Structure 1
Amino acid sequence: MENKNIESQILENENLENKNEHYGLSTATTMIIGIVIGSGIFFKGDNVLMYTGGNVWLGILVFCIGAFGIIFGSITLTELSIRTKKNGGVVGYYEDFISKKVACGFGWFQTFVYYPTLTAVIAWVAGIYTCILFDIGNAGNALEMQILIGLAYMVTFYAINIFSIKLGGYFQNISTVVKLIPLLGIAIVSVFWSAPHPSVPQGIAIVSQSNVGIGWLAALAPIAFSYDGWIVATSITNEVKNPKKNMTLALIFGPIVVLGVYLLYFLGLNKVLGQEYIMSTGNSAINKVGELLLGSNGAKIILIFIVISVLGVLNGVILGSLRMPHALASKNMLPYAQKIAVINPKIQLSIWSCLISFGAAAFWLLIHYITQNSETMSGGDISEISIVFSYACYIILYLKVLKMKKQNIIISKFKGIICPIFGILGSTIIFIGGFISNPTYVPFFVLFCMFVCLIGIMYYKEIATKS
């Protein structure tokens, strides 16, 4: 009886969703660009240089390898997106092209680990730059202040996206344009920049260039964070007008724009400041650029742009995260699916889905605080590992596309062979780089991610047996 009620609710929700295509090509594209660009490039740029020993060319290589994972990966996934109407983004791809039990396992990972860890860390990053902007939080309670501000941002943007779908979309478009200003501005100014590199401030340990050997592969972990987020856009496929055309274009053009912007900014930053200054001052390096370019208030002006940029990322991740519990419930892949699957007609979202999404993000924000306070992650964070694990999961879908080409379901050799092969290669290298970055804790957390997937698979098996 319960399954019949769920099925009727699913049909009702599908009819409602088909009438409510909220987003066009611009929002889908800016969602990808807006989520990917915003926090990682500012927060992880110095990490890339540290892992490459200050070698700019190795840094460029790392950026290009990271781009393989999204450019070729996203083009590959368009072959699946245009062949399914299932909601849930990648979960829907697993459901239609792999199996429902595996889709349930991956869905549990995305809902309870991937999305909430991303949300928690990005909110924290917004807190970091807000503290720098307003000069709040001393050495004794800096982390606590960053976490509290991050929590406040989380509550705010959950509220925005729950009570106004259009407002969340508008902020995504605006923040994407805003965040490109400092990135492209620094790149353009650097072309004409001829002043010597600034000296590292007194009291800060100087980090010089060094030969890191194959250790540069560890830079792929922060690069994965810098590029991640493009997959979130697939969660709103059913809410995009003409999704077969618009999502395909968004998943192609979005990542290409990101790569170009990243390379221009990375090269520009190094030309203005120099590798030694960036590695020594870390996240504060961007402040010096603002000071050099815009005078005494330049640092604050740049920081305002950065805070808006990071909040744009947070908004985009939350926009996708809110829909994941509902997507699983509509497929009967969560306990109490009948309640969670109900869409509130006023907000056009599931209230229970929103509560689960926020609860999971708040939980991981607490875990993030504990790991950062105890320095468990050795300079990294919890989101990097879940991102690395997700790239490994995408390989299954890339292999499926190769199989579909072999079966002549896909005609194009470029999309059916070249793209998935490069996507697999990029994901594999990123996965290996993740292990090198933190060999002590990465294996443990990857096993935890696998355990969450296993719970989801076992749950679906139990439901399938009862039905």
Structure 2
Amino acid sequence: MNKEKEYGLFTAITMIVGIVIGSGIFFKSDNILVYTNGSILKGVLIFVIAAVGIIFGSLTIALLASRTTKPGGLITYVEEYVSPKAAGAFGWFQVFIYFPAILSVVSWVVGVYLCMLMGWEATPERLGVIGGIAFLTCFGINYFSALLGGAFQNFATVSKVILIGVLAVAGFIYGDPKLITNSDVVSTAGSSMAWLGALSPIAFSYDGWVVATSISHEIKDSKKNLPIALVFGPIFVLFAYVAYFVGVSILVGPQKIMELGDAHVNEAVTILFGAGGAKVFLIFVILSVLGSLNGFTLGFLRMPYILAIRDMFPMADKVGYLEEGHHIPKCSARVAGIISLVYIVINYIVQKYELIPNSDISEIPIVASYIIYIILYVYVIKLYRAGEIDSMVRGMIIPVVATVGSLIIILGGLQNLMTFLYLGICGVVIIIALSYLGRKEKNLVRQL
């Protein structure tokens, strides 16, 4: 079926920027400064090192995106350059682990900030209910109108970028630039390389950049526009992160930020706008998180459909059906919605009973995702060696750097022993997927 493309370049870029820049950007400065003993320059270096994986990864994936317009994004790339069975297993991982795990936690964070804004007690029950309503709202917007979902993504992204820009510029105007070149302001014992410990949490804050590939078939002139979005979006995120970090650090001061912790954000806004500014800021933070939630929802609704049209999902005829004149596969969206609501309940139980200390279920898919990205980077190198990519920079140097960046993120994640449990959970889902796909393959052979 020939259908009109729904999303332009701007929406593709805002999807990447809007998902990656969620709430973490506003509350990472104190953590980074603690690791760097108050050194702003070392903090900037941390952001840059952590960004290597995403920026060079985007440049590498952009090469694959420019070679096809088939629906599926990363699933298509794995199918074409690895194997159909590997693509199916990766798709199951995204449907049953990656998207719902992150969606459930992002929806929970909406509840956290709304309770802060309204002065409500943040009980697990209240956060779970608010998170569920937030998800269902984003689900409804995208289910009934692809254009409305894209428009909200644009609005939320522009809102958060404006706020980040205001705080960054205000920091440079009213702050003390001399603090940027100051050495460590806090004396601590331990390894002189301890500041590199900040790589792991910062790297996780960059996650979500590949979600835009899930709507590749609905982007106008996708062979041209999606690669542009995959390159420009992550680079913009890096500059936004660094500008905000430096701006707020020289406005409030590294020492005070470390003392205040997450409360340094309210301090910065109060300095600029007075006590009432904190409330306004929280509204923008809520919009920021809703933008991330909407972006993940927008991408997830299509994932079961993308598998079903390849006959890699149960009830493929129903899930892979796209009604004439519609842009959202309704059955696929309902499947994604149900899975997301199940995970929202799981996240509530995990949070209420503190089943994962100092963590949450959104970290389960992160390391596994970057392992899969590395597989694609290796195949880009193979394309170069086969003569299908004529540039050594694009076909060899960029994917090698992307691989190194991803390994840094993986090694950072492995510092947490819970990551091995997370990889085990991901492994179980992949084994189930391979078993299902294997049975489908055998049944097809028998029929022939």
What TM-score do you get using the length of structure 1 for normalisation?
0.88
Query: What residue in structure 2 maps to residue 458 of structure 1?
Result: 435
CA distance in 2 between counterparts of 1:380 and 1:36 reads 19
Deviations 1:380-420 (A, max 9, x none): 22212312220111000000001111111101111101110
Aligned pairs (5 A) from 1:186-205: 186-194=167-175
Q: Which runs of 5+ in 2 are unaligned?
A: 178-185
Change (3 A) 1:216 1:323: farther
Q: Residue 25 of structure 1 aligns with which residue?
A: 9
Distance apart, 1:43 and its partner CA? 4.2
- Structure 1 segment 65-464 matched on structure 2, within 5 A: 65-137=49-121, 141=123, 143-194=124-175, 210-211=188-189, 213=191, 215-345=194-324, 347-436=326-415, 438-439=416-417, 441-464=418-441
Deviations 1:164-197 (A, max 9, x none): 111111111111111012211111111122489x
DSSP-derived class of the 1:314 partner: helix
Shift of 1:126: 1.4
CA distance in 2, matches of 1:218, 1:390: 21
Equivalents in 1 of 2:254, 2:396: separation in Å? 39
Partner Cα separation in structure 1 for residue 109 and residue 190 of structure 2: 28
Q: What RMSD, in angstroms, separates the aligned Cα atoms of the two structures? A: 2.1
Aligned-partner residue type, residue 381 of structure 1: D
Alignment check: 8 A CA contact 2:364 2:422 kept: yes
Partners in 2 of 1:215 and 1:373 — Cα distance? 32
CA distance in 2, matches of 1:110, 1:372: 22
CA-CA distance at 1:443 after TM superposition: 0.6
- Residue 358 of structure 1 and its aligned partner are, at CA, apart by 1.4
CA distance, structure 2, for counterparts of residue 65 and residue 217 of structure 1: 10
Q: Deviations over 1:124-169 (max 9, x none)?
A: 111111111111115xx2x332222111100100000000111111
Q: For the structure 1 residues 442 and 248, does the alpha-carbon distance in structure 2 shift closer, same or farther, using more than 3 Å as the test?
A: same
What is the distance in 2 between the residues matched to 1:121 and 1:99?
Answer: 32
Q: Distance in 2 between matches of 1:38 and 1:275?
A: 23
TM-score by length of 2: 0.92
State the identity as a percent: 44
Bigger mean CA offset, 66-75 vs 80-89: 80-89
Q: Which residue of 2 aligns with 1:203?
A: none
> What is the distance in 1 between the residues matched to 2:3 and 2:326?
14
Residues 51, 212 of structure 1: 8 Å contact kept: no
Q: 1:223 to 1:309 in 2, by over 3 A?
A: same
Q: Bigger shift: 320-329 or 118-127?
A: 118-127
Deviation at 1:218, TM superposition (A): 4.3
Q: Which runs of 4+ in 1 moved over 6 A?
A: none
Q: Partners in 2 of 1:360 and 1:49 — Cα distance? A: 38
Q: How many angstroms does 1:80 deviate by?
A: 1.1
Aligned to 1:3: none
The one-letter code matched in structure 1 to 2:125 is E
Q: Which runs of 5+ in 1 are unaligned?
A: 1-14, 197-207
1:176–1:309 contact (8 Å) kept in structure 2: yes
CA distance in 2, matches of 1:385, 1:45: 24
- Mapped partners of 1:370, 1:231: distance in 2: 29
Decide whether the 8 Å contact of 2:75 with 2:87 is kept in 1. Answer: yes
